[in-house]
């Protein structure tokens, strides 16, 4: 019996910006009102990548509020985005592991007097 050639994966990696609110046990810094998470998520389309990302973040005790998609690596390059080697490596990892990777977290804080 011969091995069938491996079909190329239809999975792609999408860059997503997820805004999260506060939730008990979310791990955000004290005083933060929420955060923005830049994620790389694999999926056969952007909708699947978003669903998987939201599900994973909910399991991690965060409260996803909004997701903005920035497309695949090729789409971002077409838009003129500069993408460094570290970012590309994380995208490759997300694809290889069929994973959601949080690449950056920026907490939000209320300004005094607002």
Domain assignment present for 19: yes
Phi, psi of 84 (to 5 degrees): -75, 170
Q: Cβ of 112: how many Cβ atoms within 10 Å?
A: 5
Q: Which of 85, 63, 64, 61 is nearest to 73 (CA)?
A: 85
Q: Where do the DSSP E strands lie in the chain? A: 12-21, 32-43, 63-72, 100-109
Q: Count of domains in the chain?
A: 1
Domain assignment present for 4: no
Q: Which domain covers residue 23, as residue numbers?
A: 12-109
Q: Structure pTM?
A: 0.86
pLDDT digits over 75-111, tens only? 999 999 999 999 999 999 999 999 999 999 999 998 7
């Amino acid at each position: 019996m011969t091995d069938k050639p491996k079909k190329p994966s239809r999975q792609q990696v999408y860059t997503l910006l997820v805004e999260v609110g506060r939730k008990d046990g979310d791990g955000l810094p004290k005083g933060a009102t929420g955060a923005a998470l830049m994620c790389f998520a694999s999926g056969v389309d952007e909708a699947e990548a978003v669903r998987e990302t939201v599900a994973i973040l909910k399991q991690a005790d965060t409260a996803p509020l909004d997701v903005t998609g920035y497309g695949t690596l090729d789409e971002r390059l077409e838009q003129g985005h500069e993408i460094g080697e570290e970012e590309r490596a994380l995208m490759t990892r997300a694809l290889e592991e069929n994973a959601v990777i949080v690449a950056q977290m920026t907490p939000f804080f209320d300004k005094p007097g607002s």
